[in-house]
Chain A
Amino acid sequence: MLNVSEMKKSLLVSIWFMFLTFPIMVIRVNPIEKIVEWRWGNMFLVGIGSFILSFIWRYFIRQKESGLKKVEMGEKIIPFFEKLRSGDSIYLRSLCMTLSCAAAVFPFVFSTYQTTIMTTVLMYVVLGLGLNIVVGLAGLLDLGYVAFYAVGAYSYALLNYHFGLGFWTVLPLGAVLGAFFGILLGFPVLRLRGDYLAIVTLGFGEIIRLVLENWNEFSFGPSGIANIPRPSFLGIQFSLQQATVYQYFLTIGLALCTIFVVNRLQDSRIGRAWIALREDETACQAMGVDKVRTKLRAFALGATWAGMVGVMFAAKTTFINPASFTFIESALILSIVVLGGMGSVPGVVIGACILILLPEYLRAFTEFRMLLFGAILVLMMVFRPQGIISNVRRTYELKGVPGRTLRD
């Protein structure tokens, strides 16, 4: 593999990248003080880095191509997780038991700070699962998902501010409002295909944020709303630490509920309709699936979870402003879904853990967080479009006919 022509290729790549990154990586100007800073070290790093990366890149491209060939030859590649599921279910069951035990004792073993982080992770799990319905199952790329999150958060903050409504009253209201906005967005975009849809949802998300930022009488503008009460439990007021633990368990409850519902939805009539719609819209309509209803349901059910998490988010931070609901947030949730595996529930859980915990624990990393998200989106699409844990299509084994399967 390490022959001369490969070396030459990589050398060319590294020279190209050194040229490409020259003005932006090497030179830094300060136009006010008229100083130019030359950072030749960066050029060296880019050269070495791209030299090595080009080998890895080509290696993976070859891997991918040989993988495709194997599939064409009829070889079946069973993903790791599927092996786990179809094999001894004892492993899976004991894994689940361990995880749930760990989750139950977590806030009592670790500090409040750690509990807060875990709560955040769980919130993103729910958001990811919600978006997973829209993107993963129904195949509608929604780039404005954060808008529904904002709707939930602001509905709690504003209803509490004006009418003094409590957390438990607003939680279902937030879900309903989320679903309502989901349908509101769904209607105009019904006729649009993938790429148009992406842009319109992006525009929708930005409109919501800009309105929240500029309509001071309604949303208090960029200064946001403070002093949002934390959730109460039968009227008992908690101390800060107790409230954190309580929130943690609430979020676990919500996450479990979401996982359950999404799992059931996937195998239901609607879920099948979504998957069919994702695969081929025209054929799906020909099979008698009502396109309008199916799409609207996807938007509404996806947005419901975002609305609920929004309420939770407002109750957790006790302060919200439009800066929490930028496009970056939508991109983060999308990265979770894409990294984990579109349409796969365990994938989304793992994706959320990786993308939220990594920057949290590797502090030096935080700066490069967004750079990494971008790279993840590209690399996952190029090398592993199905994500870490791919969603396995259900197949029915035909008993008695060896080696033949039917796809549903």
Chain B
Amino acid sequence: MEYFLQLLLGGLTRGSIYALIALGYTMVYGIIELINFAHGEIYMIGAFTALIMSSVLTLYGFNEVSIIVLSSLIALIYSSAYGFTVEKIAYKPLRGAPRLSPLISAIGMSIFLQNYVLLAQTSDFLPFPTLIPEFNFMKNYEHVFGSTELVIVVTTVLVMILLTILIKFTKIGRAMRATAQDKKMAMLVGINVNKIISVTFIIGSVMAAIGGILIASHIGQINFYIGFIAGIKAFTAAVLGGIGSIPGAVLGGFVLGWTESFATGYVSSDYEDVFAFALLVLILIFRPEGILGKSSSQKV
């Protein structure tokens, strides 16, 4: 029973991270119908920036709280700057091009960013500092659910709530929904579509960076390649829940997290990634529109 509980909570933690990254995919897809392949790389850059900044700040003798706050903040700023720039370079010139073009461009961007970090930094795994403090009241549950896990789940829930408020009740959220429904129409009613697309990339990148920092301090090490697998898995989560649907991405993240957690716990840990991919293939065969997605007829 305890083993089961451990896997359940482990899956919850994993699922939260997948959900955070999947949101970025789903939002971008909802607006410009593009799989932003470079999204996983944004997540990796977020984690790297946090690692670099926290090391620098530690060396200059800042105290613990300011290190956590400052390095996370800088990481968020930088990853959103990267998300913004990637969109401007690789996707914006391709509006209206055939569907395959932006996708290939996105793959290129992803390969480019990976190797950029590899060349400018290192190919080795770097130890990530434990940014998240240990809480005393969690001591008794340490063996099933640590402080880091708690922080991850709580942060994810908070981010989800904020995002829902942003999309449902603010002006920019309404503009985003309008753009997602019909770009031309949105333009006609005076929405700056280019700006909305940029904002979407920035929001998605911020969430990816939050996910990156959380998972890096949970696992304790990062390298340039972490974004690739995480990106594919998060995409799986987004498809699982129905791409374009925000609650779907969250649900998909949790379903994927639990699937992986239980499958590695009860079947075999060698095939951790295979389960995720197999789940993706199965979902696409039997329910391509995802759990919460609406099936749409194809336009000619």
Contacts and interface: CB of A to CB of B under 8 A. Distances in A.
Interface string A116-141: 00000000000000000001000101
A331 B113 CA distance: 14
B271 A382 contact: no
B59 A34 contact: yes
Interface in A189-205: 189, 191-196, 198-200, 202-204
A377 to B, nearest CB: 3
B266 interface: no
Nearest to B117: A24
Interface in B80-123: 81-82, 85, 89-90, 93-94, 97-105, 107-122
A4 B128 CA distance: 46
A54 to B, nearest CB: 11
B279 to A, nearest CB: 9
Contacts of B53: 23
B49 A23 contact: yes
Interface string A364-408: 000110110111111101100100000000000000000000000
B105 A195 contact: no
Contacts of A338: 104
A195 B103 contact: yes
Contacts of B117: 24
Interface stretch (A95-103, A277-285, A303-311): A277-285
A61 interface: yes
A192 B108 CA distance: 22
Interface residues of A, number: 62
Given A24-B117, A189-B284, A210 B274 contact: yes
A1 interface: no
A200 B284 contact: yes
B36 to A, nearest CB: 10
B277 to A, nearest CB: 4
Given A24-B121, A188-B281, A188-B284, A61 B85 contact: no
A264 to B, nearest CB: 25
A203 B232 contact: yes
A370 B114 contact: yes
A367 B119 CA distance: 8
Query: What is the predominant secondary structure among interface residues of chain A facing chain B?
Result: helix
Contacts of A56: none
Given A61-B93, A198-B103, A207 B277 contact: yes
B35 A199 contact: yes
Given A20-B78, A367-B119, A377-B107, A27 B281 contact: no
Nearest to B279: A203
B111 A385 contact: no
A29 B56 contact: yes
Interface in B210-247: 228, 232, 235-236, 239
Contacts of A42: 120
Given A195-B103, A207-B277, A29 B55 contact: yes
B112 A374 contact: yes
Contacts, number: 175
A214 B115 contact: no
Nearest to A21: B120
A195 B102 CA distance: 10
A31 interface: yes
B74 A36 contact: no
Given A199-B239, A206-B277, A371-B112, A192 B284 contact: yes
A71 interface: no
B212 to A, nearest CB: 14
A165 B151 CA distance: 58
A210 B273 contact: yes
Nearest to A29: B55
Contact of A194 (B100, B274, B277): B100
B82 A31 contact: no
Nearest to B228: A327
A21 to B, nearest CB: 8
Interface in A330-383: 331, 334-335, 338, 367-368, 370-371, 373-379, 381-382
B119 A368 contact: yes
> Which 7 pairs of residues, A with B, have the shortest CB-CB distance?
A377-B108, A374-B112, A374-B111, A203-B277, A381-B105, A29-B55, A378-B108
28 contacts: A23-B49, A23-B53, A24-B116, A28-B122, A29-B51, A29-B126, A31-B129, A135-B100, A141-B103, A141-B104, A192-B288, A199-B232, A199-B236, A199-B239, A203-B236, A204-B277, A204-B281, A206-B232, A206-B277, A207-B274, A207-B277, A331-B107, A331-B111, A338-B104, A367-B119, A371-B115, A377-B104, A385-B98
